[in-house]
Chain A
Amino acid sequence: MKRFRRLFIANRGEVAARIAGTCDQLGVTPVFGVSEADRDAPYLRGRESIVLGAARSSESYLARERIIQAAVQTRCSALHPGWGFLAEDPLFASLCEAHGVTFIGPPAAVMQKLGRKTPAKASMAAAGLKLIPGSDGVLHGAEHARDVANAIGFPVLLKAESGGGGRGMRIVREASEMRAAYESAQSESLACFADGRLYLEKLIEGGRHIEIQLLADQYGEVVHLGERDCSVQRKHQKLIEESPATVLSEAEREQTLAAAVRATSAIGYVGAGTMEFLLDEHGELRFMEMNARLQVEHPVSEMRTGIDLVEAQIRIAGGERLWFSQDEIGLRGHAIECRINAEDPSSGFAPSPGVIARWELGLAEDEHVRVDTHVESGYEVPPHYDSLICKVIAWGENRDAACDRLAGALKSLRCDGISTTIPMHLAVLRSEEFRANRYDTRAVPGWES
Chain B
Amino acid sequence: MSEGDYVLRARTIGGEGTELLAPSVGVFLPRVAEGELIASGQSIGMIEVLGVRRSLFIPQNLEGRVSQRIGGGRARVPVQYGDVLLSISTTAMAMRSDAASSSRTADSEGALAFTAPMSGRFYSRPSPSEPPFVSAGDIVKRGQTLGLLEVMKTFNRLVYQGDALPDAAKVERVVPNEGDDVVRGDVILALRALAEG
A residues with a Cβ closer than 8 A to B are 33, 36, 39, 50-54, 59-60, 63, 65-66, 68-70, 72-73, 95, 99
Contact = CB atoms under 8 A, between A and B. Distances in A.
B108 to A, nearest CB: 64
A73 B27 CA distance: 8
Given A50-B80, A59-B24, A63-B24, 17 more contacts: A36-B82, A39-B82, A50-B25, A51-B80, A52-B25, A52-B80, A53-B25, A53-B81, A65-B49, A65-B50, A66-B25, A66-B49, A69-B26, A69-B50, A70-B80, A73-B26, A73-B27
Given A36-B81, A70-B80, A73-B78, A53 B24 contact: yes
Contacts of A54: 81
A13 B82 CA distance: 21
Contact of A70 (B23, B25, B52): B25
A65 B82 contact: no
Contact of A73 (B23, B25, B52, B82): B25
Contact of B81 (A51, A65, A95): A51
Nearest to B78: A73
Nearest to B26: A69
Contacts of B80: 50-52, 70
A66 B26 contact: yes
12 contacts: A33-B25, A36-B82, A50-B80, A51-B82, A52-B24, A53-B24, A65-B49, A66-B24, A66-B25, A68-B50, A73-B26, A73-B27
Interface of B: 23-27, 49-50, 52, 78, 80-82
The 5 closest A-B pairs by CB, nearest first: A51-B81, A51-B80, A65-B50, A70-B25, A69-B49
A372 B23 CA distance: 33
Nearest to A35: B81
Nearest to A74: B78
B25 A69 contact: yes
A154 B29 CA distance: 62
B25 A51 contact: yes
Nearest to B47: A69
Contacts of A99: 50
Nearest to B79: A73
Contacts of B50: 65, 68-69, 72, 95, 99
A59 B9 CA distance: 15
Contacts of B23: 53
A63 B78 CA distance: 17
Nearest to B50: A65
A147 to B, nearest CB: 46
A99 B52 CA distance: 13
B89 to A, nearest CB: 26
Contacts of B25: 33, 50-53, 66, 69-70, 73
Of A65, A66, A69, the most chain B CB neighbours within 10 A belong to A69
Contacts of A36: 81-82
Contacts of B52: 65
Of A59, A63, A70, A72, the most chain B CB neighbours within 10 A belong to A70
Contacts of A68: 50
Contacts of A65: 49-50, 52
A33 B42 CA distance: 31
Contacts of A39: 82
A83 B27 CA distance: 28
Contacts of B78: 73
Contacts of A60: 81
A52 B49 contact: no
B81 A52 contact: yes
Contacts of A72: 50
Nearest to A50: B80
B130 to A, nearest CB: 35
Nearest to B22: A51
Nearest to B23: A53
A68 B82 CA distance: 18
A65 B26 CA distance: 9
Nearest to A60: B81
Contacts of B24: 52-53, 59, 63, 66
B54 to A, nearest CB: 11
A60 B80 CA distance: 11
A369 to B, nearest CB: 38
A93 to B, nearest CB: 15
A70 B47 CA distance: 13
A69 B78 CA distance: 10
B36 to A, nearest CB: 27
B74 to A, nearest CB: 14
A50 B26 CA distance: 10
Contacts of A69: 25-27, 49-50
B143 to A, nearest CB: 38
Of A59, A73, A99, the most chain B CB neighbours within 10 A belong to A73
B192 to A, nearest CB: 55
A56 to B, nearest CB: 12
B48 to A, nearest CB: 8
A53 B26 CA distance: 10
A50 B80 CA distance: 6
Contacts of B81: 36, 51-54, 60
A39 B81 CA distance: 10
A52 B80 CA distance: 6
Contacts of A33: 25
A33 B50 CA distance: 15
B183 to A, nearest CB: 45
B15 to A, nearest CB: 25
Contacts of B49: 65-66, 69
A18 B170 CA distance: 73
Contacts of A59: 24
Contacts of A50: 25, 80
A50 B82 CA distance: 10
